[in-house]
Amino acid sequence: MTEGINQSVREAMAKCGWSAGKPGCWTTKLMNGKALPVSARLDDEWLRVDAEVPGPFADSWWRMLVSSRSLPPPVRFAAAYADSGAMCVWLVADLAAQNSGEWSSQVAEVGRAFLEASSRVHAPSFDGNDAPQVEAAVPEAVIEAVRGAGWTCAGHAGGLRVFAPLLRRVRFQAEECGEASAYFLLRTAHRVRAVRAVAREESGVAEFVVGWETWLRLNPDAEELERGLAALTVACRHSRRELAALSDPALARRYLSQQDATPMRRASFTEAPTSR
């Protein structure tokens, strides 16, 4: 079965025009013609696609957390060490192995999302905007499951987004707490599956709600619903207490001082290649 899945991955990547490299590695091109190395590997029951994004990066993890909600699913921002040993920003997407028959279209969507997301890393938005909500009938099974966990669900273009709030964050108050919380969540986002860390602005008040979100099709079957809610549960379990602790400014400052919390900066990848 693994070989069959790997063949499906190779075929999906080829249809997207991604150039194959060493096993598990491909290359796609950014809009300016520069190459973006991408890796794909099977991780338990998931296909993980990720890419280390070249800098320079925004000078605020909080800004990146706010901007992450505007990324097209299933792509998310994450923070992790690169092979060089430097802390870097990554683009990550997880696709369920059970849906391998749909990988060609899903990988194509991930490829387009990677190109779009890579242009935002160095200057993410700070307005908290995301894809507009749409009128969509949320299935009763989803409503019951989400409500029972204390979460929310809304229709967005292409599907449903389930949001699990963890903490309220007042804008511009205790800046070090926001930075520490965002850095911690983006580090955690590299270790969990199928969810992304977001800061969602509450309508009508100068506050953000920080938490995790996952996305479902408009009419998810029982397996997809269970998988998505389980991913949210795991992410919340791995971050709730730590995030609450980082609300203490002194602890937040100490946490940041002990972390390599400054992204590596390199020559801008958003500039056009220089001709020689």
| pLDDT tens for each residue of 84-142 | 888 888 999 998 876 556 777 777 778 778 877 776 665 555 444 455 455 567 888 88
Stated pTM of the model: 0.84
Q: What was the pLDDT predicted at 4?
A: 59
Tokens 């963890």, located at residue:
166
Question: Please, which pLDDT band fits residue 60 given cuts at 50, 70 and 90?
Answer: confident
How big is the chain, counted in residues?
276
Q: What was the pLDDT predicted at 204?
A: 60
Q: What was the pLDDT predicted at 274?
A: 34
Q: What was the pLDDT predicted at 40?
A: 85
Question: Please, which pLDDT band fits residue 195 given cuts at 50, 70 and 90?
Answer: very high
Task: Name the most confidently modeled range: 41-55, 121-135, 227-241, 252-266.
Answer: 227-241
For the chain, which residues make up each domain, given as ranges?
2-257
What token pair was written down for 119?
């242009």
Q: Where are the alpha helices (DSSP H) in the chain?
A: 2-15, 61-68, 103-118, 140-149, 175-189, 222-237, 240-245, 249-257
Out of 3.90.79.10, 1.10.1200.10, 3.30.1460.10, 3.40.50.300, select the CATH number for domain 2-257: 3.30.1460.10
Q: What was the pLDDT predicted at 55?
A: 63
Between residues 205 and 10, which one has the greater pLDDT?
10
Q: Which of 55-59, 68-72, 105-109 has the lowest mean pLDDT?
A: 55-59
Cα distance between residue 219 and residue 40, in whole Å? 27
Question: Please, which pLDDT band fits residue 184 given cuts at 50, 70 and 90?
Answer: very high
What token pair was written down for 113?
């999302």
What token pair was written down for 176?
């070090």
Q: 206 burial class (0-12, 13-18, 19+ CB within 10 angstroms)?
A: exposed
